[in-house]
Structure 1
Amino acid sequence: MKFLIVDDHKIIRDGLKQILSKSFPFSICDEGENAEDVFGKLKESSYDVVICDLSMPGRSGLDVVEQIKLTHPDMPILILSMHPEEQYALRALKAGAWGYLNKTGGADILIEAIKRVLQGRKFIPASVAEQLTLSLSSPYHSLHEALSNREFHIFKLIAEGKSISEISDLLSLGSTTISTHRARLLKKLHLRTNADLTKYALQHNLL
């Protein structure tokens, strides 16, 4: 059994390796901090499961999932994030993840998710399954659902009060690129200011 753990916090990676070694005694755990590490590891080896954080320096976990699916379409990917399920789970599943777990959950849930995806099945928590059902059955969709994954990520950061320069540093993107994304997402959401973005995020439980 071979796992790839991707998280920019070493304490999280070490904790996950300890959990996995207990439940899968002869497993091998490779690790990485960012998207570049992921793609480098995938060129060298194949993995039974990739466990990936959502928020990392540079490209987001959603970008990583989409890229992995292009080159390794059958490789199971579990997103393990601090963000509540209602904020990112549907996006992660649509991007190609096999499951979404919140970091506040216990080790037993993680192991259950891994065993399920190893059987070729998706791991969808009950709260996410309900959202998915409503999303598929409802003819109405919120404006933010039309945002690309990159735009949504930047939208969240702006709504949290981050400046253009701070977001630029976090995502390793130029300030001009961030400003362009900001202009696009404001247009898509029919909003004008950063304060409007924060208000919208609060109204839709995105913060």
Structure 2
Amino acid sequence: MKTLLVDDHEIVRRGLKQLLLEAFPQAVFGEASRVPQARELIMQQEWQLVLLDINLPGGSGLDLLVEVRLLRPQAAVLMLSSYPEEEFAVRAFKLGAAGYLTKSSVADEMLAAVNKVLTGGKYVSVALAEKLAIALGNPQQQALHETLSSRELEVLRLVATGKTIKEIAAGFSLSEKTIATYRMRIAVKLGLSTNVELARYALQHHLVD
């Protein structure tokens, strides 16, 4: 089993590798701590399983998820994040993820999720399944940030952490005008104008640490 671990914390990658080796002794691993590094590995090699964090240096794990689905459609992508399921899981599934786990998940749940996605299934925790059922029964409960595109969501998160338009533009290799346009769209969709209001919203909805 060829597995790519994408997380910016070495201790997390090391723990995941140890856990998976106990269940899959013949597993072979690749590791990346940044989006550009992960992208290069995805382009160079085939992978059966990709464990992917959302919050990564050099870009967004959600953007990388889209690239994996385009470049390696046979790979099962399991999102593993510190962010709550209710804030990111639905978006991740829409973008092609096979499963979503929080980093607080126990080892048995992790292995159950890996086995499920490797056989072509989708892994959804019991807690998330209940939340999805409630949301489907009452679409009006959808949070405003669910209307944001993945790039708009990432810009919102970066603005909330205090990044300037110039810094965000440099990180995405985009023009400041483009990022300013994203910032304007976010403000309109959320009905918020100042960076302080955007940061408060992001914190309230657990979009940033």
Aligning the two structures, in what range does the TM-score lie when normalised by the shorter sequence? 0.7 to 0.9
1:7 is displaced (CA, Å) by 1.1
Answer whether contact 1:57 1:171 (CA < 8 A) is retained: no
**TM-score normalised by the chain length of structure 1:** 0.87
Which residue does the alignment assign to 1:32? 32
1:172 is displaced (CA, Å) by 6.0
Alignment partner of 1:179 is 2:191: no
Alignment partner of 1:97 is 2:97: yes
**TM-score normalised by the chain length of structure 2:** 0.86
Change (3 A) 1:205 1:20: closer
Identity level (%) = 43
Pairing of 1:1-207 with structure 2 (within 5 A): 1-140=1-140, 141-164=142-165, 167=168, 175-201=176-202, 204=205, 206=207
**Deviation readout 1:44-83 (Å, 9 max, x if unpaired):** 3212211011111122111111111122223210011111
Change (3 A) 1:149 1:20: same
Return the letter of the residue paired with 1:186: A
1:156 is displaced (CA, Å) by 2.7
Query: Which 4+ runs in 1 deviate beyond 6 A?
Result: none
Q: 2:47 & 2:205 partners in 1: Cα distance?
A: 37
Equivalent residue pairs, number: 207
Answer whether contact 1:146 1:188 (CA < 8 A) is retained: yes
Change (3 A) 1:70 1:160: same
Return the letter of the residue paired with 1:85: E
Change (3 A) 1:56 1:203: closer
- CA RMSD between the two structures: 2.3
Unpaired runs of 5+ residues, structure 1, are: none
Unpaired runs of 5+ residues, structure 2, are: none
Q: 2:92 & 2:165 partners in 1: Cα distance?
A: 25
Q: 1:120 & 1:22 partners in 2: Cα distance?
A: 22
Return the letter of the residue paired with 1:143: L
Return the letter of the residue paired with 1:74: Q
